[in-house]
């Protein structure tokens, strides 16, 4: 059975090697999630240190999915920074290692992230994802509303422009 957990800053720091493996695997698999190929797990460590710092500062929710005690997936909710958006969160970095896909982990992570965000007073979440990616097909199945497409927003990890699709979800 998968286990979904929200990590403290200390737990996040301890999880950096495993989180780095997951992120590097997703980039190697062609996911447009902020980084370019080649991208080794060691390259990902500074990113996860920053995430752990943001968790410590209270600005980031970090969730992980574990199978057999190993972290194989993750997602974050970042708090919107401006004082006029206390109710909004940014859903970020939904990542499932290729070896663990298709078992419902993304759905479990998203359900838990939305529940935890709601507990912290968030009533609206937004995200963007690479147009044409597996992830783009998944969000509508999880109740997210598609807003539209911004062309040439980022690069695919192997190079070449990639459009992004914006989504939002109101939390009941």
Ligand X SMILES: CC(C)(COP(=O)(O)OP(=O)(O)OC[C@H]1O[C@@H](n2cnc3c(N)ncnc32)[C@H](O)[C@@H]1OP(=O)(O)O)[C@@H](O)C(=O)NCCC(=O)NCCS
Give residues in contact with ligand X (CB under 6 A). 26, 31, 33, 94-96, 101-107, 129, 133-135, 137-138, 141
Of 139, 141, 135, nearest in space to 125 by CA: 139
d(C-alpha 150, C-alpha 54), whole Å: 28
Which residue lies nearer to ligand X by CB, 56 or 116? Answer: 116
Buried b (16+ CB within 10 A) or exposed e, 115-129: ebbeeeebeebebbb
CB of 74 to ligand X, least distance (A): 9
The pair of three-digit structure tokens given for residue 76, joined into one six-digit string: 């974050």
DSSP type of residue 80: P
Residue number, 56 or 153, with CB nearest to ligand X: 153
**Could you tell me the smallest distance in angstroms from the CB atom of residue 65 to ligand X?**
8
Q: Min. distance of Cβ 84 from ligand X in angstroms?
A: 25
Least spacing, CB of residue 83 vs ligand X, in Å = 27
DSSP strands (E only) in the chain: 3-6, 60-67, 70-79, 88-96, 124-130, 145-155, 161-170
Mark out the alpha helices in 29-104 (DSSP H runs): 41-56
Nearest residue (CB) to ligand X, 19 versus 106: 106
Q: Which residue has the tokens 């752990």?
A: 52
Tokens of 101: 């896909």
Closest approach of ligand X to the CB of residue 142, in Å: 7
Nearest residue (CB) to ligand X, 8 versus 37 = 37
User: How many whole angstroms from its chain centre is CA 64?
Assistant: 10
């Amino acid at each position: 059975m998968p286990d979904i957990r929200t990590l403290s800053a200390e737990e996040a720091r301890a999880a950096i090697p495993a989180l780095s493996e997951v992120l590097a695997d997703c980039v190697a698999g062609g996911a447009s999630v902020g980084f370019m190929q080649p991208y080794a797990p060691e390259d990902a460590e500074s990113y996860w240190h920053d995430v752990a710092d943001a968790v410590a500062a209270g600005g980031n929710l970090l969730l992980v999915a574990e199978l057999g005690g190993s972290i194989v997936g993750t997602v974050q909710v970042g708090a919107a920074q401006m004082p006029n958006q206390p109710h909004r969160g940014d859903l970020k970095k939904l990542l499932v290692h290729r070896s663990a896909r298709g078992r419902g982990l993304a759905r479990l992570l998203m359900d838990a992230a939305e529940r935890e965000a709601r507990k912290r007073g968030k009533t609206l979440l937004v995200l963007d994802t690479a147009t044409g990616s597996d992830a783009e097909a998944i969000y509508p199945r999880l109740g997210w509303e598609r807003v539209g497409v911004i062309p040439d927003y980022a690069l695919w990890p192997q190079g070449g422009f990639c459009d992004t699709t914006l989504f939002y979800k109101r939390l009941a």
